[in-house]
Amino acid sequence: MRFLEVRNSLTRSPPTGERRRSAAEDFGLSTSFDIMLSKPLAPDDLAAALADLIPPSLRVDVRWDIADLIDEPGALWALVGDTHDPAWPRVLSVLVCREECGLGPYPDLRVAVRLWERFGADALCGTYPFAGERDPNDPYWSLACIGGRWYLASTCGTRLMGPYTDGTRVFPGDEAVRLVRPVAVPE
């Protein structure tokens, strides 16, 4: 139960938008993030790809449900979920022990690139200040790894971010992710 209490106390990052820091991140212990994926990858496939990114002595745990997670998970663990958007059918919610895993300052971007290399899966990640100016009227920003290249993207109007309402009716959203401009991602 102790592990579940710790997990529930961490601030999960939003699927898009500027990342929020958890208390554990303030101490530099861990970081958590969500990545939306364009392919319905299975937990075992995701675990194998994530294991390639960290030292072989560390364990990776990827599960469908937090109830299936073992009491003492590995240094990198993730939950896999479904979305209601067929263009982005999977969400990968990841917790990384920062120092142990050595994934650098942008672990979500490293994971996204690895999933592109291994499976050809496009990804939507949170944004960082290096992405530059953004339209303040659009709260749905993401960094998108599309075809192995990075873009600033808007998810406004997509089914992924819906449903939407105009006050009288509710609609799911029918826009595609809009690639605004290429972004240079630091190493």
Phi-psi region of 98 (alpha: psi -120 to 50; beta: other; left: phi over 0): alpha
pLDDT of residue 69: 65
Q: Are 60 and 94 in contact (CB under 8 A)?
A: no
Q: Where are the domains of the chain?
A: 2-119, 129-182
Question: What integer pLDDT is reported at residue 70 of this predicted model?
Answer: 65
Tell me the per-residue pLDDT of 109-123, one tens digit each, with 9 for 90 and over.
Answer: 999 999 999 999 999
Q: For residue 83, how far is the Cα from the chain centroid? A: 13
Q: Is the pTM of this model over 0.85?
A: no
What pLDDT score does 52 carry? 92
Are the C-beta atoms of 118 and 49 separated by less than 8 Å?
Answer: yes
User: In this structure, how many other beta carbons lie within 10 angstroms of the beta carbon of residue 139?
Assistant: 15
